[in-house]
Chain A
Amino acid sequence: MNGTAIHHYLAEYHRREASNNTPWLQEQGLAALEKFRNNGLPTTRQENWKYTDIGALARTGFITADARHNTIEHHRLDAVRIKGLDCYELIFINGQFSPTHTRLEGLPAGVMVESLGRSLPNPSATVREHLNRYADNDNYAFTALNTAFLTDGTLLVIPANAVIEKPVNLLYISNRQDQTLVSHPRNLVILGANSRATLIESYIGLDKAEYFTNTVTEILAGEGASLEHYKIQQESERSFHIGSTHVTQQKDSRYVSHSISLGGALVRNDITATLGGNGSETILNGLYMAGDRQHVDNHTLVNHLQPNTRSEEYYRGVLDGHARGVFNGKIIVHKNAQKTDARQSNANLLLSDNAEVDTKPELEIYANDVKCSHGATVGQLDENMLFYLRSRAIDEETARSLLTYAFADDVIRRITLQPVRDRLEYSVIGRLPDASLIREFV
């Protein structure tokens, strides 16, 4: 199975080679491809993929999306945009940059928000220096694949001491095309010292299309920089989504991630945060909701390399139908990282006997003066709370929905951007029975 998949992607690579207009990147691309050829796609025999079988993905011969595939009817965009959100916006259709829909008016001076694809032929020194530097092509097969196929995505560069108040919204939309497509969006985010920004990555699938999104985001947070990062995954119910975020943090920087996974048939989110500077801080919030036969896997790795670093992780999952949820949170405190404070919590709500949840919170600690803790729970709705609601004449189904919503909202409530919060609350309620009734309550 793996041999066929490797063969397929190698053939795809060579098919596209002719159109390659970025010779300077070719060497890195080929090196990544070679890694992919040697390592292949992960199997459940590998510890990091123990609970996620990507057989179906490996068996599908996805065609690499190209410029021909960036068509969408204009009116459909309004439906996917976040209502009431004043933002800078880049739109990609099937991974292809769509300049006509882009909104970038009034960007502060020096701030760079643009299509990475457009900047590749004549790259700036920043792009050359940072691209493919924070991504881990050795241990993440899909990241290597992304690097090999790197053609487009977003470049966000915030200069030192700059603050952009408006969030940058990246909309990655996939729709139905004649072929089953794969896109490999690549985002590079560089925050200069003491800068501040908010980044939203939205992945949205339309038309119940079948496709594969293999996305990689590389982030460097400079000294004292602060990034609030949202990843909203609402891919179509027949799609595959594999996404990795590789974050490197310098002294006193702060990285906050909100990863919300609602869509997709097979989803895997990887976040690797490296606290490489004294006093840096990482906060990871996450929510995954899956029903039917969805499979959602969230892996996070927090590397405390330096002293006085802090990390906090809060993930919640709701599993219904035949869905399967996987959580693996790993915290490594290296020898030097004294005075580390690391906390992690994962709570899961199992609503169906056919659903499954596999959770594995891990701690690896090599320093002694640290405070680390993790907790994981799997349970169901509280009988007493249900009784309370029912005794007040709320029928069982509505009561269940209400409590499920409250459970999920614990993560959403941590989101500071009101329009994003509203959108997510709307989407979460939409998944529950008696949605209209619930909306009256909350």
Chain B
Amino acid sequence: MPGQNEQVENLVKTEYEHGFVTDVDTDTVAPGLNEDVIRLISNKKGEPEWLLEWRLKAYRHWLKMTEPRWAHVHHEPINYQSISYYSAPKSKKTGPKNLDEVDPKLLETYAKLGIPLQEQKMLAGVAVDAVFDSVSVATTFKEKLAEAGVIFGSFSEAVQNHPDLVRQYLGTVVPTSDNFFAALNSAVFTDGSFCYVPKGVRCPMELSTYFRINASNTGQFERTLIIADEGSYVSYLEGCTAPMRDENQLHAAVVELIALENARIKYSTVQNWYPGDENGKGGIYNFVTKRGDCRGNHSRISWTQVETGSAITWKYPSCILRGDHSVGEFYSVAVTNNYQQADTGTKMIHIGKNTKSTIISKGISARHGQNAYRGLVRIGKGAENARNYTRCDSLLMGDQCGAHTFPYIETRNSSAKVEHEATTSKISDDQLFYCLQRGISEEDAVNMIVNGFCKEVFRELPMEFAVEAQKLLGITLEGAIG
């Protein structure tokens, strides 16, 4: 066992693969938060009056709130006045007309990350709205989407071009006063993605956005709003990596999904932000509010997430199953290595009749990682024949880590069927022995077993993401044999 631990130590020390800083002039506002900063952000983005008022309302409410303490995570207090709330690459001022005009340094960054920006036209099928810090720098495949009638682009553009749509839906799923971090986001968000899929349209390609935190000391506050109108379908992919940095960076995003009658939204995430070094120094604080509203009958929202990065993850992608026969799904793999902490899960709020939800959560903890599943399944009084199935499994690697489960199940209807199952175990010696005996190295065996453990979730990911996710998992857990 001691020898094995040593091996773990050596292998886990693999440096963060995507750790580098791109040197770009940024237009950054001095750290601090007050109403003037919010006015400045709103002004810089040329926002209409109502949006500024909306932000200020959120800010005033935020001042009255306190940071939540219930999550199973520990961190130093965050000084919200030492964060800069706005940062944009300068080259944006003129605005690139096509890929050639994009700052080559940015393109280089993306190339390093393996984002197929250059090859996109050939690769057809993925439209990337790349958010570099807070402002979109390049959006492609606009024409093809426009042809289908799909509106997809940065949030700022949407505010300019489709203010009515934004105004109609913004904050209707996650209200400004929802929680501490959502209120903060509402006050200071700088950009994000907006997508509207009109009635009866099946979005012709997978939509994806790569978020990347770059400018030092800049909390990034993304706002994403996706609306699937009646009978439409959209699959949205979100992936992220961040450069190595010593100070903790705060990320408090809000994602709102709205599915109207017969619509379906599939939202996939691969999150690989900088998790801090092996001593728990640095890393991203990822405090995200994600919620989907199955507003219409027969609507369906699926969340799939692979969380391998961030020092602290605090995230509960949820579904409000308002429409009759609506379906909510949550598939998650969360990995915590070194001193990473994750408190993640979902909420399934059953309101409509014959609503169904499925929760599959796989948590992997290695070394000092702390991994918690926290979920709520609520069957309302009128939610006849509601059905929920929950399964959360934890895999422990190393004797210093922790795996926790906090499921809340509230049932107020006698026709409801709710099932919850959870298990915790380590990779069994038998399984390892079986593989070793057949000439598979220990490293490969662990990889194989872990991938098998997560298969149910990976299967839900779109192809490109599934490959990336498996690779990520391998890198994150290199050598962490229990």
Name A's B-contacting residues (CB within 8 A).
Answer: 47, 51, 335, 338, 348, 350-353, 355-380
Complex alpha-carbon distance, A353 and B400, angstroms: 45
Tell me whether A378 and B417 are in contact (CB under 8 A): yes
Neighbouring A residues of B426 by C-beta, 8 Å: 368-370
Interface residues of B in 370-396 (CB under 8 A from A): 379, 381, 394, 396
Tell me whether A368 and B411 are in contact (CB under 8 A): no
Query: What total count of A-B pairs have CB within 8 Å?
Result: 115
- Knowing A373-B421, A375-B421, the reply to whether A363 touches B405 (Cβ < 8 A) is yes
Q: Which of B404, B412, B421, B482 contacts A364 (CB 8 A)?
A: B404
Tell me whether B408 and A358 are in contact (CB under 8 A): yes
- Knowing A368-B397, A370-B425, the reply to whether A359 touches B409 (Cβ < 8 A) is yes
Nearest residue, chain A, Cβ from B427: A368
How does the 8 Å CB contact mask read for B281-314 relative to A, with 1 for contact and 0 for none?
0000000000000000000000000000000000
B418 touches A (CB below 8 Å)? yes
Nearest residue, chain A, Cβ from B405: A363
Q: How far is the CB of B57 from chain A (nearest CB, A)?
A: 26
Q: How far is the CB of A47 from chain B (nearest CB, A)?
A: 7
B416 touches A (CB below 8 Å)? yes
- Knowing A350-B413, A375-B421, the reply to whether A368 touches B406 (Cβ < 8 A) is no
Tell me whether A368 and B401 are in contact (CB under 8 A): yes
Secondary structure call for the A interface: strand
Complex alpha-carbon distance, A358 and B379, angstroms: 10
Q: Which of B400, B401, B424 contacts A373 (CB 8 A)?
A: B424
Tell me whether B404 and A365 are in contact (CB under 8 A): yes
Q: How far is the CB of A375 from chain B (nearest CB, A)?
A: 5
B27 touches A (CB below 8 Å)? no
Tell me whether B416 and A379 are in contact (CB under 8 A): yes
Chosen A-B contacts, 6 in total, with CB atoms closer than 8 Å, are A350-B416, A355-B414, A363-B424, A365-B402, A372-B424, A374-B405
Name B's A-contacting residues (CB within 8 A).
Answer: 70, 379, 381, 394, 396-426, 482
Complex alpha-carbon distance, A79 and B298, angstroms: 57
Secondary structure call for the B interface: strand
18 extra interface residue pairs, beta carbon distance < 8 Å, beyond A353-B415, A363-B404, A365-B404: A335-B400, A348-B411, A350-B411, A353-B412, A353-B414, A355-B412, A356-B410, A356-B411, A356-B412, A363-B403, A363-B405, A365-B424, A372-B424, A373-B423, A374-B420, A375-B420, A376-B420, A377-B419
The winner among A356, A365, A378, A379 for most chain B CB atoms within 10 A is A378
Neighbouring B residues of A335 by C-beta, 8 Å: 399-400
Neighbouring A residues of B423 by C-beta, 8 Å: 372-373
Neighbouring B residues of A366 by C-beta, 8 Å: 401-402
Neighbouring A residues of B394 by C-beta, 8 Å: 363, 365
Complex alpha-carbon distance, A109 and B294, angstroms: 70
Neighbouring B residues of A359 by C-beta, 8 Å: 409, 420
Neighbouring B residues of A368 by C-beta, 8 Å: 396-399, 401, 426, 482
Nearest residue, chain A, Cβ from B406: A362
Nearest residue, chain B, Cβ from A345: B421
Nearest residue, chain B, Cβ from A338: B399
Q: Which of B403, B410, B418, B425 contacts A379 (CB 8 A)?
A: B418
Neighbouring B residues of A365 by C-beta, 8 Å: 394, 396, 402-404, 424
Complex alpha-carbon distance, A362 and B372, angstroms: 10
Tell me whether A351 and B405 are in contact (CB under 8 A): no
Tell me whether A361 and B399 are in contact (CB under 8 A): no
Q: Which of B414, B420, B422, B425 contacts A352 (CB 8 A)?
A: B414
Neighbouring B residues of A360 by C-beta, 8 Å: 406-409
Complex alpha-carbon distance, A403 and B414, angstroms: 16
- Knowing A356-B411, A363-B404, A368-B401, the reply to whether A378 touches B418 (Cβ < 8 A) is yes
Q: How far is the CB of A303 from chain B (nearest CB, A)?
A: 14
Q: How far is the CB of A2 from chain B (nearest CB, A)?
A: 21
